[in-house]
Amino acid sequence: MSSHVSPRLLRQYADGEDLPDSTTWAVDVHLESCADCRARLATEATSVAPLVEQVWAGIAAAETVPVRRARRLTTWATPTMVPWLVMTVLVTLLAILIDWLVAPPYPSVALLLAPVTPVAGVAAAWARGLDPAHELVTATPRAGLHLVLRRTVAVLAVVIPLLAVATWTSPIRWLLPCLAFTVATLALGGFVGVRRAAAGLVTAWTVLVIGPSLVTARPPAVLEPTALGIWAAVFVVGALVLRLRATVYTRLES
Ligand SMILES: [Zn+2]
């Protein structure tokens, strides 16, 4: 299996064909780091469409700041993440309001939601998804995982400060569960697709932890500091699965 962009895909890319966003991103990511493919693209573009070559040469040689920023945005975040961002901010504000209205010992809603807050964001980052059959994806096995990790970092960069504000008294309780859920979503996503993994984990958490906790008005045992070892184990196993199955993330379903 080649680790470069296939000739056919490179031609489609050079022609500006209507490829799925994620496919274009994966090519972008590969081109960033592969001089060979950049050279092939230049040749391709010359023979197919001089204009495209001109544009690419312009981008490669002297990228303007907006272009560079836009390209960076697509590898770190996607437009499909905007509704998620709005929803996350609103839900967190609502949780803060409820916590302010309902006094302890009633469990903090913000704390109950914290572990699964990034999960929807990870799914949103893949809302358009990668076409599982697309040849590009097999052509650039590492690009997929890089994209996944970059966008996950972008999600966490939003979620962690937000949660820190919402649950300022107890970051120790949710930070590790939050990271464990994120890694578990990605690891499980390699088997069933990220969106399905996210939906399954959020449902399980809601039914098994949030529901009982609200009904009994007692904070869940899994968010006590004594449970941190379990979350650490989940995180490590998830990260191992992620590393061992890296190539899977180049052909994830949305
Ligand atoms: Zn290459």
Summarised one tens digit per residue, pLDDT across range 205-254 is 999 999 999 888 888 888 888 889 999 999 999 999 988 877 666 554 43
Residues 201, 119 contacting (CB under 8 angstroms): yes
Q: State in Å: Cα 122 to ligand 1 middle.
A: 27
Percent of the chain with pLDDT over 90: 12
Select the more confidently predicted residue: 152 or 61: 152
Tens digit of each residue's pLDDT (9 = 90 or more) over 127-163:
444 333 233 433 444 556 666 777 788 888 888 888 8
Q: Which of 75, 90, 120 is the C-terminal boundary of a domain?
A: 75
Res 36 pLDDT > 60:
yes
Q: How far is the CA of 37 from the centre of ligand 1 (A)?
A: 4
246 and 124 within one domain: yes
For residues 87 and 203, membership in a common domain is answered with yes
Higher pLDDT, 32 or 88: 88
Per-residue pLDDT, 214: 87
Q: Do both 173 and 64 map to the same domain?
A: no
> Quick check: is 229 in a domain?
yes
Determine which of 57-66, 88-97, 154-163, 178-187 has the lowest per-residue pLDDT on average.
Answer: 57-66
Band of pLDDT at residue 111, cut at 50, 70 and 90:
confident
38 C-alpha to ligand 1 centroid (Å): 7
Ligand 1 centre to CA of 3 (Å) is 6
Task: Indicate whether 108 and 156 sit together in one domain.
Answer: yes
Residues 152, 67 within the same domain = no
Residues 68, 86, single domain; the answer is no
Region 27-32 average pLDDT = 73
pLDDT given at position 207: 95
In a domain, 29, yes or no: yes
Residue indicated by tokens 């770190």? 76
Give the amino acid at 145: L
User: Of 75, 109, 126, which one is at a domain's C-terminal end?
Assistant: 75
Q: Kindly state whether residues 19 and 96 are assigned to the same domain.
A: no
Question: How far is ligand 1, taken at its centre, from the CA of residue 62, in Å?
Answer: 21
- State in Å: Cα 140 to ligand 1 middle: 8
Given this model, what pLDDT does residue 208 score? Answer: 94
49 or 189: which leads in pLDDT: 189
d(CA 143, CA 125): 15
* Residue 1 falls inside a structural domain: no
Residues 58 and 139 in one domain: no
Question: What's the rounded mean pLDDT across residues 66-78?
Answer: 57
Domain count within the chain = 2
Burial (CB < 10 A; 0-12, 13-18, 19+), residue 142, is middle
The chain-wide mean pLDDT, for the chain, equals 75
Is residue 2 in a domain? no
Let me know if residue 149 belongs to a domain: yes
Exposure b/e, 32-52, CB count within 10 A at least 16 = b:
eebeebeebbbebbeeeeeeb
Spell out the alpha helix ranges (H) of the chain.
Answer: 7-15, 21-33, 35-48, 50-61, 65-76, 81-101, 109-113, 117-124, 135-139, 141-166, 171-192, 194-205, 211-216, 228-244
Which residue range is the domain that position 58 belongs to? 7-75
Span from the CA of 69 to the centroid of ligand 1 (angstroms): 23
